Chains A and B, each alone.
Chain A
């Protein structure tokens, strides 16, 4: 099984889990508690599967990017999962973290802020050796030249 096939299977498995979460909402009595976990696992797999598929160069491993995509899995599962697992503590006199109750802070800061700080920097740092190398552009421009010659 190639790395690319694994990425694709990750997306398919994720889509199936999201589909299962939706289907469970049709059960009598509405969606069970597990539906949110299915949705969380499914959407995480779809997102990270797409990122791996897109970032992978033909036949190559992800290199340093596997840590970045591992971070995305960890942040989504820990922050959303934490919010699902922690008992509600919102109310008068609740502990506030940066002005928010703990569960909300976990989601808003963990998912809303941390990836915005980490992912763009990771993309920029790895761009020259893993995303677009100077020789990539040269070969693309040669291919473009060939197309122009073929089409006259």
Chain B
């Protein structure tokens, strides 16, 4: 399943035109200015990892949206819709409810836990909930494993986008892109991250909305887009596309429930200045997500429609759907904004990964091993640098390995974190043994079966996804082991219990 989620890995059409380069330069200058402003306000590790718990609800919502959507929403997603039909929309269909679900299940508990404990990371929350360094350390390891691969695929995609805009070659594209993200991530931490995310999120939503309107206009409205497709390939517009109902619904399950376990998104709840403002989180986040996802659906369908009506030849690669659409149908300025939006989507995700990964290295793992977390900002900045270089090296030199590493990120987050957090923060009967067992189950099932599939040794039958299966198994293991070790359930600190009861 998640192979479908692998980001762009083949070169994009070259776009080095003056207007597009100008839009790209303007975008990068905007990011640099915000980063400079934020880096001067980053003085403590709390500033670096949780933005000093001082951001407003608009910033939270837009930063969460831009961290949620990587370049997949702009490049891979339209390509999937172009090739799989409406079945591909099941990857993003849960966006209509996932922010509300996260708000009911996690937002209040995590934010209040940050209020009583001053926690900085998602593994911190697990450690506090279960009084368990082992659970905290294991969750940090799972996050780190997922992040390195996920980040490498994003850095590779960023390199391709930078190369497409500026025409400087993939190698330079990777290091220029990674260097820019590193510069603001290391200097300003998540404080720079969330405010650049705000800027990037606004560009993403604007570009997506404009491209959507152009797609409708060039296709002659929605009926004008779908009519040629229905004539050529009716199954393409069946509700499941070419996927079939079991696979499509399975994606809805994985992405609907798995959204609760994405650490680079949910740890932003800690950063909100006033917990009472969470009231507006689902409204703003859902609105921003839905606007930004308009492009994914409309461009994929429009390009399929144009091919079906014979207006253009079939695309060589599905991932060309968005670049070809922009070149053929959008004004050059909009193409520039849209490509800046692709870079924005990737950079905001990479920045969030860098921050969460650096926290795992300097904060969570040392804490789990009984050592004091690495002091001050220096350690966090060094860890950010190391992770960036590692991701850049993997992106440039690992060949097909980068696609493999990117495959299991989402599923690993979901299966290792959803039970311990989403259920554990709301159910007093959950135990540390249950949390540890579920994290180990998620790690083992995901790594073993994704590896077997990658090396073509064993694959699940159609409709069964490794992410879905590992999520189900880790939920069941979590509940069963917690029931078997029910005597541990009394070990909840009074302040944490209070957070779980309000």
Residues of A within 8 A of B (CB): 4, 8, 11-12, 15-16, 18-19, 21-22, 25-26, 30-31, 35-36, 39-40, 42-43, 46-47, 50-51, 53-58, 72, 80, 83-84, 88, 90-92, 94, 96, 98-101, 103-104, 106-108, 111-116, 119-124, 127-128, 131-134, 136-137, 139-141, 143-144, 146-147
The 8 A-B pairs with the shortest beta carbon distances in the complex, nearest first, are A99-B222, A54-B105, A58-B501, A119-B100, A120-B282, A43-B253, A90-B234, A36-B245
Asked whether B452 is an interface residue with its Cβ less than 8 Å from the other chain, the reply is: no
Residues of B within 8 A of A (CB): 86, 89, 93, 95-97, 99-101, 103-106, 108-109, 112, 115-117, 221-227, 230-231, 234-235, 237-240, 245-246, 249-250, 252-253, 256-257, 260, 275-276, 278-283, 286-287, 290, 422-423, 426-429, 460-464, 468-469, 472-473, 475-476, 479, 494-495, 498-502
A72 touches B230 (CB 8 A): no
Complex interface: chain A residues within 8 A of B117 (CB)? 144, 147
Complex interface: chain B residues within 8 A of A58 (CB)? 500-502
Least Cβ–Cβ distance between B274 and chain A, in angstroms: 9
Q: Is the interface of A mostly helix, strand, loop or mixed?
A: helix
Q: Which residue in B93, B99, B276 is a CB contact (below 8 Å) of A111? A: B93
User: How far, in whole Å, are A133 and B279 apart by their CA atoms in the complex?
Assistant: 11
A98 touches B97 (CB 8 A): no
Least Cβ–Cβ distance between A98 and chain B, in angstroms: 6
Q: Could you list 12 A-B pairs, sorted by A, with CB under 8 Å?
A: A8-B429, A22-B469, A39-B246, A90-B238, A99-B222, A99-B224, A106-B239, A107-B93, A120-B282, A124-B282, A124-B283, A141-B115
Q: Which residue in A4, A26, A55, A140 is a CB contact (below 8 Å) of B499? A: A140
Q: Assuming the A-B contacts A8-B427, A140-B498, are A99 and B282 also in contact, with contact meaning beta carbons closer than 8 angstroms in the complex? A: no
A119 touches B495 (CB 8 A): no
B422 touches A50 (CB 8 A): yes
Complex interface: chain A residues within 8 A of B226 (CB)? 96, 99-101
Q: Which residue in B103, B222, B230, B252 is a CB contact (below 8 Å) of A94? A: B230
B257 touches A131 (CB 8 A): no
Q: Which residue in B101, B463, B472 is a CB contact (below 8 Å) of A25? A: B463
Q: Which residue in A19, A54, A144 is a CB contact (below 8 Å) of B116? A: A144
A103 touches B239 (CB 8 A): yes
Q: Assuming the A-B contacts A11-B475, A21-B246, A99-B225, are A35 and B279 also in contact, with contact meaning beta carbons closer than 8 angstroms in the complex? A: no
A119 touches B463 (CB 8 A): no
A22 touches B464 (CB 8 A): yes
Least Cβ–Cβ distance between A136 and chain B, in angstroms: 4
Summed over the interface, the residue pairs from A and B with CB atoms below 8 Å come to a total of: 234
Least Cβ–Cβ distance between A28 and chain B, in angstroms: 10
Q: Which residue in B234, B468, B499 is a CB contact (below 8 Å) of A91? A: B234
Complex interface: chain A residues within 8 A of B473 (CB)? 19
In the complex, which of the residues A15, A114, A121 has the most CB atoms of chain B within 10 Å of its own CB atom?
A15
Complex interface: chain B residues within 8 A of A30 (CB)? 461-463
Chain A's closest residue to B461 (CB) is A25
User: How far, in whole Å, are A54 and B226 apart by their CA atoms in the complex?
Assistant: 40
Q: Assuming the A-B contacts A112-B89, A132-B275, A137-B275, are A91 and B230 also in contact, with contact meaning beta carbons closer than 8 angstroms in the complex? A: yes
Q: Assuming the A-B contacts A4-B427, A18-B253, A132-B275, are A120 and B100 also in contact, with contact meaning beta carbons closer than 8 angstroms in the complex? A: yes
A143 touches B495 (CB 8 A): yes
Complex interface: chain B residues within 8 A of A42 (CB)? 253
User: How far, in whole Å, are A11 and B283 apart by their CA atoms in the complex?
Assistant: 26
B245 touches A57 (CB 8 A): no
Complex interface: chain B residues within 8 A of A119 (CB)? 96-97, 100, 282, 286
Complex interface: chain B residues within 8 A of A12 (CB)? 475-476, 479
